[in-house]
Amino acid sequence: MTKRAFKQVDVFTSTPYFGNPLAVVLDGDGLDDAAMQRFAAWTNLSETTFLLPPTHPDADYRVRIFTPGGELPFAGHPTLGSCHAWLEAGGRPRSDLIVQQCAGGLVAIRRDEDRLTFAAPPMRRSAPSPTLLAKVAAALGLKAQQIIGAQLLDNGPVWLGLLLDNADTVLTLKPDHRALRELGQKVGVAGIPAADPAPALIARSNREARAFAGTGAAAIGLEVRAFAAPIGIEEDPVTGSLNASLAQWLIAETHLPSHYIAAQGQALGRSGRVHVMRDAQGQVWIGGDSVTCIEGTVRL
């Protein structure tokens, strides 16, 4: 085993322990697939990444992304967290735009002041089968009239995206995770808060309210939850790939404006914030703060 530089980064938050943690091995050279997967299962985080030299001439670095149950071609919070860790460790991009190479292709990342923002990759969407939709609704305890829209969203990871009637419905869901695991489909649910936020959307404690002053319920354009039992994660705290797909879908169908902030993680005691912007060329950018919580070495 070799000592390798390691960081654990909290993503989609500027306050430690309120976002989605990511394990980053800064030197993945020489590790085979089995070693990477074993370590990702051991960390038991939603994702663990391994940084490698790029093999594409336009990339600044390469990343491999693992969940406890397998490898992903692309994921959002590992993109931002890995880039944060790479820059903090002395990585120097060749231009103002950072280019990450992953199994899903090249991902552009820019620095907007202190916040990193990635270009959402191309997304394919289609209508789910009525049978799948009915089974997922039953597993979530939803009635048909509570579902405003449903789409299969594919930007590498595939999510069944559901737009629900309001944000309160999203926050009060009590999913049957066993049923969702048996269906083999990751599910992302979203709801637009009412103009006058309901109590469920207000910070769960005074501590959270202080930590996120200025990004409270009134600033939130979308409330999101992500259920991923098929890959070993019952509920993901904050999910970049899902928020990217939801943004591309919901902005295109005019459910949301071209700029908004999504909240995710409240049901898990987190307060993730995802900054969404579609530019004049139609490119959706997904941004979030990151903060390093642990750094040192691991033996792999």
Q: Give the residue numbers marked as catalytic.
A: 47
The Cα diameter of the chain in Å comes to 56
- 194 token code pair: 């009412």
32 phi/psi in degrees, rounded to 5: -90, 175
CA-wise closest residue to 247 among 188, 201, 289: 188
Distance CA 99, CA 80 (A): 12
Count each helix (H run) and each strand (E run) in the chain, helices first. Answer: 7, 18
* Burial class (CB within 10 angstroms; exposed 0-12, middle 13-18, buried 19+) of 108: middle
From CA 251, how far away is CA 201, in angstroms rounded? 22
The C-alpha angle 176, 181, 185, rounded to 5 degrees, equals 105
CA atoms of 79 and 12, how far apart (whole Å): 11
Check: CB of residue 146 under 8 Å from CB of residue 166: no
- Under a CB-based contact definition with an 8 Å cutoff, are residues 50 and 258 in contact? no
